[in-house]
Amino acid sequence: MHEWALAEAIIYTVTEIAEREKFKEVTRVDVKVGELQQVDLETIKFALTQLRRGKLEKTEFRIEPIKAKLKCRICEHVWNFDKNKLEEEVAEAIHFVPEVAHSFIKCPSCGAQDFEFVEGRRMYIESVSGVK
Amino acid sequence: MQDPRIKVIEHRLSKVNNIIAVSSGKGGVGKSVIASLLALLLAKKGYRVGLMDLDFTSPSTHLILGAKGLFPQEKEGIVPPTFENIKFMSIVYFSKDKALSLRGQDFSDSFIEILAITKWDKLDYLILDMPPGINDATLDVIRYIKKVKFIIVTTSSILSLSTAKKLIDALNILNIEIIGVIENMKSEQTHTIMEKLDGAKTKFLGEIPFDPKLERCFGKPQMILTTKVSRELEKIVDKILT
Ligand SMILES: Nc1ncnc2c1ncn2[C@@H]1O[C@H](COP(=O)(O)OP(=O)(O)OP(=O)(O)O)[C@@H](O)[C@H]1O
Ligand SMILES: [Mg+2]
Ligand SMILES: [Zn+2]
């Protein structure tokens, strides 16, 4: 599962932040996950509890999805990403490398493939709290 | 708002001993041919080799090697498939060889994504086939892969050499190691490139002749290894390895 690779990335990054902030213990981590990547949130949560150690032993991980919004650079139309409109193979490719959406998705209004991801493309760590 | 993928990249590449970007500045000088052959030659010598095609818009190493019907394995990340003893990674697994035009940030995002999830494990050499130009891919490789070294390819044309020199200057300013320069598709017996490079303080690695038979070997890795191009590149490889 490639969710494990992403969970591992979160653990490494939070560990580094905890060192930098001199936290004795990390209490809570807020992660936002863009829906474009169709990451399975339960799998990420499970992977996080399996991979954590040290200062992250008791951390509460809050993971929230963000709707993926696309905007056409040609006609400025904005629309929501809908996985269900895609073939399974295409959805899988976008799951691994979301930018390949540019090979498969067209602006529903004008047909252009020159669009940007306004929201919901990536995963990011919104906040890390802990006790010093 | 930290992107957790950045931090994991160094861990993913921690067991890769040498990372070599085959780059040029000018397009169409033979980077993809040389990167593919370099991977084949190193694998033939028994090294553990990976090849990553970073030309997302016009990937070609899969065509040169004839790597068809491959897909990475999903295993706590993705494991690149092995082809001719080369761990091979290309955007074509995901773009399915459809057109893919990416603007700057989208290029960076896909580059970071692939580096963050690909499990190369132990490698002696990871070869990167760079797209033409000194732009997104070059800057991102330098930014995210600290231990990268460059091989620069040029033709005998001064048009190609002048961009190669700019690339050399840019890399020197950033203190990035340049293994050397290869002159490719040579058709005349002159030493112009070697002489003109003199001022650039960069090692001249050797020349590879223009070989009209090369094209018909594409897709057949064992045949490519029998070409003149391969024989000359092998001499260069032996020089680099010592
Ligand atoms: N030594 C050679 N002899 C004959 N043909 C060659 C040689 N080297 C490269 N070629 C041919 O030149 C063309 C360009 O090569 P290649 O695609 O490797 O260049 P490139 O630098 O990767 O191009 P791009 O900048 O588009 O990525 C190809 O058709 C290839 O077959
Ligand atoms: Mg190329
Ligand atoms: Zn549009």
**Cα of B58 to ligand 2 centre, how many Å?**
7
pTM equals 0.93
Q: Are A96 and A83 contained in the same domain?
A: yes
Put simply, the answer to whether B110 touches A98 (Cβ < 8 Å) is yes
Strands of the sheet containing A78-80, edge to edge, are A78-80, A69-72, A115-119
Q: Which of B33, B64, B235 has the most ligand 1 atoms within 8 A of CB, as the residue to mutate?
A: B33
Ligand 1 atom 11, closest CA:
B30
Q: Are A75 and A110 contained in the same domain?
A: yes
- Reported as a single tens digit per residue, the pLDDT across B200-217 is 678 999 999 999 999 999
Q: Are A114 and A127 contained in the same domain?
A: no
Nearest chain B CA: its distance from A83 CA (Å): 16
Q: Are A57 and A76 contained in the same domain?
A: no
pLDDT of residue B59: 95
Nearest chain B CA: its distance from A12 CA (Å): 7
- Tell me what the mean pLDDT of segment B132-146 comes to: 92
In degrees, rounded to 5, the angle at the alpha carbon of residue B96 between the alpha carbons of residues B81 and A90 is 105
Q: Are A104 and A61 contained in the same domain?
A: no
Q: How far apart are CA B60 and CA B132, in angstroms?
A: 12
Q: Is B211 in the pocket of ligand 1 (CB under 6 A)?
A: yes
The residue range of the domain holding A93 is 69-119
Q: What are phi and psi of B167, to 5 degrees?
A: -65, -45
Instruction: For domain B5-241, give the fold.
Output: Rossmann fold (3.40.50)
Put simply, the answer to whether A12 touches B7 (Cβ < 8 Å) is yes
| Residues ≥6 apart with Cβ < 8 Å to B95 | A93, A100, A103, B56
CATH of the domain at A29: 3.30.2320.50
CA dihedral B40, B43, B48, B49 (to 10 degrees): 0
Q: Are A60 and A17 contained in the same domain?
A: yes
Instruction: Tell me the pLDDT band of B229, cut-offs 50, 70 and 90.
Output: very high
Give yes or no for residue B198 having a pLDDT over 90. no
In chain B, which residues have their Cβ closer than 8 Å to the Cβ of A100?
A: 91, 94-95, 100, 110
Q: Are A6 and A62 contained in the same domain?
A: yes
In the numeric block, the tokens 């919104």 are attached to A126
ipTM for the predicted complex: 0.86
**Cα of A81 to ligand 3 centre, how many Å?**
14
Asked whether the beta carbons of A109 and A72 are under 8 A apart, the reply is yes
- Reported as a single tens digit per residue, the pLDDT across B38-96 is 999 999 999 999 999 999 999 999 999 999 999 999 888 899 999 999 999 999 999 99
SS (H, E, C) chain B: CECCHHHHHHHHCCCEEEEEEEECCCCCCCHHHHHHHHHHHHHHCCCCEEEEECCCCCCCHHHHHCCCCCCCEECCCEECCEECCEEEECCHHHHCCCCCCCCHHHHHHHHHHHHHHECCCCEEEEEEECCCCCCHHHHHHHHHCCCEEEEEEECCCHHHHHHHHHHHHHHHHCCCCEEEEEEEEECCCCCHHHHHHHHHCCCEEEEEECCCCCHHHCCCHHHHCCCHHHHHHHHHHHHHHC
Q: What residue ranges do the domains of chain B occupy?
A: 5-241
- Reported as a single tens digit per residue, the pLDDT across A10-46 is 999 999 999 999 999 999 999 999 999 899 999 999 9
Task: Count up the domains in chain A and report the number.
Answer: 2
Nearest chain B CA: its distance from A91 CA (Å): 10
Judged by its nearest atom, the ligand closest to the C-alpha of residue A75 is 3
Angle between helices A2-20 and B5-12 (to 10 degrees): 110
Put simply, the answer to whether B8 touches A12 (Cβ < 8 Å) is yes
